[in-house]
Chain A
Amino acid sequence: MIAKVICYALNGLEGIPVEVETDVNKGIPGYEMVGLPDAAVKESKERVRSALKNSGLLFPVNKITVNFAPADVKKEGAAFDLAVAVSLLKASEQLIGVELGRTVFLGELALNGDVRPVNGMLPILISAKAHGFSRFVIPRGNAEEAKYLGGAEIFPVRNLTEVIRHLTGTQPVLPLETARFVPHARGKGSADLKYVKGQPIARRALEIAVAGGHNLLLSGPPGTGKTMLARCLPTVMPDLTFEEALEITEIHSVAGTLGEEGIVSERPFRTPHHTATTVSMCGGGNRTVHPGEISLAHGGVLFLDELPEYKRSTLEALRQPLEDGKITVSRSAGTVTYPARFMLCASMNPCPCGNYGSADRTCSCSPAEIRRYRRKISGPLLDRIDLQVEVDNIAYDDLASPGEQESSEAVKERVNAARRIQRNRFEGTGLNTNAEMGERELQTFCVLSPDGEKILREAFERMKLSARARSRIVKVARTIADLDASEQILPRHVFEAVSYRLYDKMG
């Protein structure tokens, strides 16, 4: 008898339905798997055999053939175990009268019959739901992430015995209740702008960067709080919407970095070390194409500490995703596209010794050394970083600092207001933030007054800025005007925007 069970394979974030067909025939006892399974799938043979035996079920002593269709899709991982076991039971007539046609089985089996969680559960469920499947049997361990998928019957199971009892109706498993998404479900992290002492200029730049979706470069001597400032970025970003959270969770689910929580409710903050390779940054891998750091930072912040220390090729690879908001990785195993719309925040020392511009220590670098150090970051990359500010180590005790610093919550308030203005402006254009504007949008949305135009032209002549720097400055000026709730971009907005182009001025 032939039995057919549906399972899913993953290609990037896209689930591909796989039919597991099992045929149990008379003949010399044997157990064959065909249909392009990889090593981990082939090993399911032995896991299924033991799991059946230890669950008190019968492993047929016949000629068994398991086929994975379509045969041209490479199947990987252990998520097929449960489907193989169920189809084997069905084929060996141990599940008589049970209808399996529209149910998707996912899960890895332990030798004692337990069902273990698998990576990539959420993207599989989302794809399968889009393909019209609405009943799923999944491992209990994946229930946390699966419960956010509404509109489907999802049965979480602990072991094979539960599956059989559920299917035969002797002891049905209750379907998961759909959970409601709450941002910051796990409570806020420890980072908050109110713990950052001083740094009024950097704080302001942070606010502008988040409000307009601009990238940010913090330059300053060691120990001035660059990392601390960067860690505050997610705390002033707007709360995640459910759609965003789902999208981010999909990526983290594939990567297997999902925590206990089940869904990512906070914007990611990724800090890859500067020894990171291009593959770990952009995604890739030997057989499967794993999402890289930039995809894991999707919807959040990618923080590159000590920017000039990263390999140049790795940094250059960021340029295209920074523009497109996604990355397409090609491997012999296939081509995969992962979303990668992240905010880049980088930090660097102003010079090799780190003391250039320091209030109390002298810099021992020669001008040539400083230039060489800065040249490690290519112009095109620097060009994509709209805001470049200095973080300084002035002793703030000297300044009569009035009371406690402004908290992230207050800043977020203003950011949300600015984002609302942008949403209204870009309605129907497919854009979200000022930073995403192209030349065409700049001409429609960023008209300067004749007065402002004159000032800007003068500034460009005096400071010898490039044309690319011009559009960056106008974009930032647009965001500053939005924060000011001003319809028009006024000269003071342009001037402030100019003050954040540190490295253009240095030439």
Chain B
Amino acid sequence: MLVDLNRCVGCQTCTAACKQTNATAPGVQWRRVLDMESGSYPEVRRTFVPVGCMHCEDPPCADVCPTLATQQRDDGIVTIDYDLCIGCAYCIVACPYQARSRVDYPNQAYPGRPRMKHEQRTEHFERRRVAQKCTFCVDRIDYGLANGLTPGVDPDATPGCVNACIADALVFGDLEQADGRVAELLASHHHFRMHEELDTGPGLYYLTGPRS
């Protein structure tokens, strides 16, 4: 996934879309946008930085997982097998991107009031008391690939946050595809990855501007 920092406006549409797509509990945000300042008045910049699971090449969360619940697929997506996870939270501590959560409470926006109909429909008991994080909406990707769709292009095969992004700041696709949009943008833009010095090989690339 690419994040074009020149386009992101911090609107949190991706955050909200992700929460709804994945029915995450209040306070849990698999995708969110940080509001960061650098410099000091009056020479100050404000930047909006979408974050979430980086789907690292060498994911530290997997290294510490005692039950092998966290795995990496061949396509690079890091997954959690909720049946294997024991909720020990080692991975939550190990993740340098603070991308993981453990939730012990139900998906209920208004505690003390009746649960809303859509909350009742999207209980996700399997995620209770285990680690959870962004899946890159892997069900959509698998569905798309099985049906001849292109992830990042066809909405039914694309993560919810990318579909929803009103600034088109989020771009999803196959990094390995040489003529794809992701490779093209990486070639034409300056970019960095977050905490690259940790050698985790994060799968989110931040574009900071065109090369020319």
A binds B: no
Interface residues of A (CB under 8 A from B): none
Q: Which residues of B contact A (CB under 8 A)?
A: none
